[in-house]
Structure formats: structure tokens, C-alpha cells
Amino acid sequence: MITPLTCSLVGQQRLVQIHPGTHARSMYGSSTATEDYYCSYGVNPDYRRKLEEGGLIVSGTDANGEIRIVELMTHPFFLATLFLPQMRSSAQTPHPLIAGYARAVAAHRLRRSSSGAGST
């Protein structure tokens, strides 16, 4: 499912189209974002249909429609990117996906403690 890209994205910044109705879109609050890439591999487009049939949603693509973000809508935070969100994140201004992950962790912790599941 992972294949070498026809053109390496190492050191490049690219625009990502973020699809409506997804967790990614709600975290970004925008339809596009510029992201930093440090990779030479990506999702083989021949497997897109199989991934979607398995429950993954393509929630972000590049200008050519190639997969850049996938997620499981049924999970509080199961999201994978081809880019590195941490490259545009700092303690003062966390990346929207990193902030979203932190919110999902805090909400999960709150649900666990409210349900009497204990702490771990």
C-alpha cells in the first residue's frame, strides 16, 4: 500500500485540501493548509478503494487528488498524515492536528474518570 513517490517531497511545502465533514476539517477550521514534507513515499492510489472499504476516510488530498490525510471517523482520534504536523507546531502555537490530539486525549481521560474506569 505504500509506494515510492514519483517525485520526492523532501523539504517541500505543499497545499493540502481538507475535506468537509471530517475530523481533520474540524481541527483545521479551514479547507486548505500548507504543510511541510520530508518523505519520498506515499499511499499507492491503487489501494484507495480498499482502504475506504475498510473504513478509512481520505480527509486530505493534494492538488492532484493524492492522499495526504486519512482518518477513521468512528474513532475519537485516528488520523495519519503524509506530512509532519510537528514541523509547524510550537508550544505557543500548536499545529491544529496536535492540538486536536491533545483535546481527544483530555476528553478520553475525562470519560474514563467519569465512568469510574479508574486512572491509568
Report in angstroms the alpha-carbon separations of 22 from 53, 58, 68, 97, 107.
17, 9, 13, 12, 18
Domain residue limits at 46: 2-114
* CATH number of the structural domain spanning residue 12: 3.40.50.880
Segment 40-67, tens digit of pLDDT: 899 999 999 999 999 999 999 999 999 9
* 46, part of any domain: yes
Domain count, the chain: 1
Residue 23's identity, in one-letter code, is H
Q: 3-class DSSP state for residue 79?
A: strand
Q: Give the whole-angstrom CA distance, residue 2 versus residue 63.
A: 19
Q: 3-class DSSP state for residue 70?
A: strand
Element (DSSP H or E) covering residue 96: helix 96-114
Q: 3-class DSSP state for residue 5?
A: coil
* 120, part of any domain: no
Q: Is the pLDDT of residue 118 over 60?
A: no
Segment 86-97, tens digit of pLDDT: 988 999 999 999
